[in-house]
Chain A
Amino acid sequence: LAKTTQPISMDSYEGQEVNITCSHNNIATNDYITWYQQFPSQGPRFIIQGYKTKVTNEVASLFIPADRKSSTLSLPRVSLSDTAVYYCLVGPWGAYNTDKLIFGTGTRLQVFP
């Protein structure tokens, strides 16, 4: 199983760029890296997924180095509404081994005005 390690919490101010790094030293060849965001009283929401190098969408960017042992979720110019818990998940593509997706403790991001 590809276990992930993230910081428990992070603080930022509005307008800043936030980078949350996730370590996954035993990531497997067929594993993808996925990030979810969760607000209080809501279910997790998919943010971004990648396999290697860089992926960017309208919400965030995901940076994955060549060894894939870590990944960084980058949130540009955060606002108060970005205050949430962010989860890094690592799991295989196209397999039904659902127990390989472990949410972990996540990173609690607090954005201040």
Chain B
Amino acid sequence: EAGVTQFPSHSVIEKGQTVTLRCDPISGHDNLYWYRRVMGKEIKFLLHFVKESKQDESGMPNNRFLAERTGGTYSTLKVQPAELEDSGVYFCASSQRAISEKLFFGSGTQLSVL
């Protein structure tokens, strides 16, 4: 069974540019989550999809971040325009049921904004 895959694994962009991160959850997992770790800080929740609907996006830092999950399959997280403080590792996770069920994480996307 394939795990959660994220693309790209690394991205280096300049301030003001746009970057789109992609997450492919485990097939059949309705729940999809985005987290991120900013340098030296803890892993923070960003948002949660149930199928194609945003269940909770209270962790999204501002309106420069846009997450979508068309058709309830893969998800994208777009940062536009990127700022220096957006640098960090962005993790995607999926689960079959609710949040306290086992989460399966991807390896993350290391984003560097210069």
A interface residues with partner B (beta carbon < 8 Å) = 32, 34, 36, 41-46, 49, 87, 91-105
Contact = CB atoms under 8 A, between A and B. Distances in A.
Please name the 9 residue pairs, one residue from A and one from B, whose CB atoms are nearest each other, closest first.
Answer: A43-B105, A103-B43, A46-B102, A98-B48, A93-B100, A98-B99, A43-B91, A94-B98, A98-B56
Contacts of B44: 103
B105 A44 contact: yes
A44 B44 CA distance: 12
Contacts, number: 71
Interface of B: 4, 33, 35, 42-45, 48, 50, 55-56, 58-59, 91-93, 97-100, 102-108
Contacts of A36: 103
Given A92-B100, A93-B98, A43 B42 contact: no
A45 B99 contact: no
